[in-house]
Amino acid sequence: MKKLIDFDKEGFKKEVITNVKTLYRRPIEEATPQQVFQAVSYAVKDDIIDRWIATHKEYEKKNVKTVYYLSMEFLMGRALGNNLINLTYYDAVKEALDELGFDLNLIEDQEPDAALGNGGLGRLAACFLDSLATLGYPAYGCGIRYRYGMFKQAIKDGYQIELPDDWLKDGNPFEIKRPEYAVEVKFGGYVRVENRDGRNYFIQDGYQTVRAVPYDVPVVGYGNNVVNTLRIWDAEADQEFCLDSFDKGEYEKAVEQQNLAKTIVEVLYPNDNHYAGKELRLRQQYFFISASVQRAILKFKEKNSDIHNLPDKVTFQMNDTHPTVAVAELMRILMDEEGLEWDDAWDITTRTCAYTNHTIMAEALEKWPIELFSRLLPRIYQIVEEINRRFVLKIQSMYPGNQDKVKNMAILYDGQVKMAHLAIAGSYSVNGVAALHTKILEERELKDFYEMRPEQFNNKTNGITQRRFLLHGNPLLASWITDKIGDEWIVKLSNLKKLKVYATDEKYQQEFMNIKYQNKIRLANYIKEHNGVDVDPRSIFDVQVKRLHEYKRQLLNILHVMYQYNELKTNPSYDMYPTTYIFGAKASAGYKRAKLIIKLINSVADVINNDASIKGKIKVVFIENYRVSNAELIFAAADVSEQISTASREASGTGNMKFMLNGAVTLGTMDGANVEIVEEVGEENAVIFGLRAEEVMKYEREGGYNPKDIYNNDAAVRTVLTQLINGMYSSDDPDRFRDLYDSLINEDVYFILKDFASYVEAHRKIDTLYRDEKNWAKMVMLNTACSGKFSSDRTIEEYAKEIWNLKKVKVTLD
């Protein structure tokens, strides 16, 4: 790897030794790995700080336009390795630590993942920050500093157990607390109108306040001296108020205030693609949005005198509807604090806010009861009412007498605040996250909005950062690629297409497959260590890792494993290539059926892995506590990437891209970004099965299909389903999996049985393809070679040009 930033190895070693001494009063020889991790991180932070300062000096000097990426989730993973990669001296530090007698890999393992997110949406935000910094775009990520992140998953007797993620217990060496930027956030109370000089002023009274205190985390760009900021907000009790209450002897009131603050940032809601109308969740949303928007306006005003120019200097990009109160909060500030009239404020707001939609799943749509919303945010609610009133008038003037349009598009309806409608009404841009997804939004889910304002809609197909998911996660492949085509791919992933010529060359095929094999050994060791299961690195590694959700159809996958096992046991002529089925998934704590599917996977694993008669042809492994850090190992080692959601349901998927980049073949439905993956790599280099989105949606319009037809006509399906309830995988409780059985037979909302035969066929195809070693090598190499489009650098360039209108900044150190 080219060293873009100078590194003083001896100086660095000295600093690590000094840090261990001053932090822990220990000589380096006696330091624990955790202490070395801290000492190294502080040394790295030292280098980051100068660049961080220089970056912000440059932004201020140029008075640049900035994007504020507002997100309830940032699934950052570990920072140390990534920072070293982007500072371009990972290898040098590895060497330095070697000389001090430490293994960088083991030191990295000391760091807990920053798991401030659930899955795709949160990880996308993290990849976007990496790309923004690498491309030199001025940006802040704004979020919440959850005290507890995504729960840790343990598997006990095959069941998921949730353990608290105490990620801050050893301290976070990279963050910096910025009390000087604290702001107040108000909850509850009532609104009073005051007329001064003929103008009405709205004043919130009787409220509770919480102090929002930001912590800044550096986001290092690759080799360019740019360091952007992830600003995560912590909540503290309002000091003055507390002291006052203590003085007055209102001890309980003061403590209550402390608790109110603490509770807000206590924990990340572990729901993925599922709305739960909890008051605390709305508190979290308003808390970080009010703080972020207030701060952004204050910063804007330091350099700009006319608030009307806000849209030229600021965009608030809303990551799904979770930050949508930003629309009303900005209106509040512009009117109540800046003194603008409605029309003026609305014009500014709707040229500053933009919205990304990540789902069409009905159960994920945020709809807050008006009663709750207005009680918690009285002034914000008033503003939403007025936004709604005017929006409904607009609908009526465009479609006179059409009550359906009002019903479908109003922001307030049926006693609820519909956040998606507020987001669309308040934004200048609405984007989907893959071509198919955007098409479905335009033609179906958001059709009425699209017809009203088609120019507002656009697509931004998701992407991932190759710095983390190839350069850091798969060092062998990364250096092989650099060897062949140079290292520019690190910042320009489309260069990978130069690898195409190697895909048909036997020598290079062998090199590539040998790297895959090494990575499979690395994962096999991890599995041995964590699961106690032996897996054969020569078997096909068939992997499905993602959040557990019915629409993602892990159930289809495990039913197929059960089917294959039956074939092996009963059909003497059944021939299959040895396959290791690898799963990893967290289920939301309250999602019963998802948790039952985890139990099923583990139960099937237990039976099959312990059946010597099948000679290890099938192994099933459930990787505990799937998260960003072990994901990096998993992607690098996969042969087959399972992307099998019911067509039309997965907005994009991003795991699919990480597998492709690392040279795996997609076994998937025509859903989300799979469609574009196939477009890039060619149909012959992926295995596609199942109903198409159009077909699924047609069935749904016509009230579903009848799964009993399949049950009655397909003996193999019948056998597998019967095994769910005959105790084969639950001898201690034969009824354990009856819920899964019933759901499949009676409704099969996700078309699992409908797609089953086609899925079996797809697996047969994988089996055949894998046996043809040369062709398989060619396929996987073409997957890597054609994955250039899926860099988040490409995605961010599109956002920057087509939505944000940002200019790149260069940073030099003096």
Helix and strand numbers (H, E) in the chain are: 33, 25
Does the annotation count 658 as an active-site position? yes
CA distances from 62 to 59, 94, 724, 797 (A): 5, 37, 65, 20
User: At its nearest, how many Å lie between ligand 26Q and the CB of residue 173?
Assistant: 28
Which one is catalytic: 78, 552, 560, 599? 552
Beta carbon nearer to ligand 26Q, 639 or 671: 671
Kindly tell me the burial class for residue 328, based on how many C-beta atoms sit within 10 Å of its own C-beta (0-12, 13-18, 19 or more).
Answer: buried
Question: Is the Cβ of residue 297 or residue 686 nearer to ligand 26Q in the bound state?
Answer: 686
Q: Can you read off the two tokens belonging to residue 639? A: 């042969």
Indicate the pairing of strand 152-156 with strand 159-163.
antiparallel
Q: Which residue is nearest to ligand 26Q (CB)?
A: 120
Helical pair 592-609 and 554-570, crossing angle rounded to 10 deg = 20
Closest distance to ligand 26Q from the beta carbon of 657 (Å): 9
Output the smallest distance, CB 249 to ligand 26Q, in A: 39
Residue 211 or 358 with smaller CB distance to ligand 26Q: 358
Cα separation, 86 vs 47, whole angstroms: 12
Helices 715-725 and 738-746, interaxial angle, to 10°? 150
**Residues 556, 741: contact at Cβ < 8 Å?**
no
Rounded distance, CA 768 to CA 640, Å? 13
Instruction: Answer yes or no: 547 catalytic.
Output: yes
Long-range residue pairs from 519-525, CB within 8 A, at least 24 positions apart, any chain: 519/474, 519/476, 519/477, 519/633, 519/636, 519/637, 519/662, 520/637, 522/633, 522/636, 522/637, 523/633, 523/634, 523/636, 523/637
**Annotated active-site residue in 45, 421, 516, 547:** 547
User: Which residue number, 81 or 653, has a Cβ lying nearer to ligand 26Q?
Assistant: 653
Q: Which of 658, 736, 754, 789 is catalytic?
A: 658
3-state percent breakdown (helix, strand, coil) of the chain, nearest 5: 55, 15, 30
- Select 462 or 625, whichever has its Cβ closest to ligand 26Q: 462
Minimum Å distance from CB 793 to ligand 26Q?
16
Nearest residue to 273 via CA among 653, 616, 639: 653
* 421 tagged catalytic: no
Residues forming beta bridges with residue 791, ordered by sequence position: 464
Select which of 45, 94, 283, 546 is catalytic: 546
Across 312-352, the runs of DSSP E, i.e. the strands, are: 314-319
Q: How far is the CB of 524 from ligand 26Q (least distance, A)?
A: 29
**Binding stretches for ligand 26Q (CB under 6 A):** 118-121, 124, 269, 271-273, 275-276, 281, 358-359, 364, 366, 433, 462, 650-654, 672
Q: Count the Cβ atoms, other than its own, within 10 Å of residue 76.
A: 29
Distance CA(276)–CA(55), nearest Å, equals: 40
Residue nearer to ligand 26Q on the CB measure, 288 or 480: 288
Given the residues 147, 358, 649, 778, the one annotated as active site? 358
Which residue among the candidates 134, 321, 654, 784 is catalytic per the annotation? 654
- Nearer of residues 295 and 367 to ligand 26Q, judged by Cβ: 367
Q: Shortest distance, CB of residue 462 to ligand 26Q, whole angstroms?
A: 5
The verdict on whether 322 is a catalytic residue reads no
Cα angle, residue 274 at apex, residues 272 and 279 outer, rounded to 5°: 105
We find the least distance from the C-beta atom of residue 483 to ligand 26Q, in angstroms, to be 32
Catalytic machinery residues: 358, 546-547, 552, 654, 658
